[in-house]
Amino acid sequence: MYKKSFGKSSAADRPRIRPEKEPVDIILEIAGLIGIVAMIVLTASKYAGLPQVIPTHFNGAGIPDDYGGKGMIWLLPAIGLVIFTGISILNHFPFIFNFPVNITPENAERLYRHATRSMRLMNLVLVVLFFYLTWETISLAMGKSAGLGMLFLPVTLGAVFFVSIYMVIRMYQLK
């Protein structure tokens, strides 16, 4: 017999509801959208002034260790947009998420609300990350910066882990 690792209910057994957005949810979505638009505008406004070769990869210390053509700068906004769009679409179907607790008709709405809000927060964190990467890549290419900095990797990982851990702990509290 198949044993599930998370929760006791499968996605097929869960209530198929979508919690209404609260003001904080709308703010998180708008902030993420503004970040995506700002990243695209930044890239478009600086593109003509970029040198033909720009940094395309950074090592763990935040120092560039690979280079490519200036057109590669569009990869960061493109990846950011795909991730933002994918998470935003996925967020319309909270009943398919993996939950560490059992979803019942009684707790579904509050757990779905928390899960979708957490995903919006993670989406915003990722948009900020990609905006920063775009900003720093442009700054480096134009000779106005030396690298991402030693704190980039630990701060980024810390933010992603914090949101993830908060989400799971809060799920257990809300069950």
Q: How do the domains of the chain map onto residue ranges?
A: 21-174
Residue 8 — very low, low, confident or very high, per pLDDT cuts 50/70/90? low
Structure tokens at 157: 């990982």
Q: What is the pTM of this model?
A: 0.87
Q: Give the pLDDT confidence score for residue 35 in this predicted structure.
A: 98
Q: 3-state class of 52 per DSSP?
A: coil
Cβ–Cβ < 8 Å for 58, 134:
no
Q: Give the pLDDT confidence score for residue 60 in this predicted structure.
A: 86
Cβ–Cβ < 8 Å for 74, 54:
no
pLDDT tens by residue, 62-71: 899 999 999 9
Residue 9 — very low, low, confident or very high, per pLDDT cuts 50/70/90? low
Cα(97)–Cα(95) distance, integer angstroms: 6
pLDDT over threshold 50, residue 2: no
pLDDT over threshold 80, residue 5: no
DSSP state, residue 96 = G
Q: Higher model confidence: residue 5 or residue 33? A: 33
pLDDT tens by residue, 23-60: 999 999 999 999 999 999 999 999 999 999 999 999 98
pLDDT tens by residue, 79-132: 999 999 999 999 999 999 988 889 999 999 999 999 999 999 999 999 999 999
Longest dimension (CA), the chain: 61
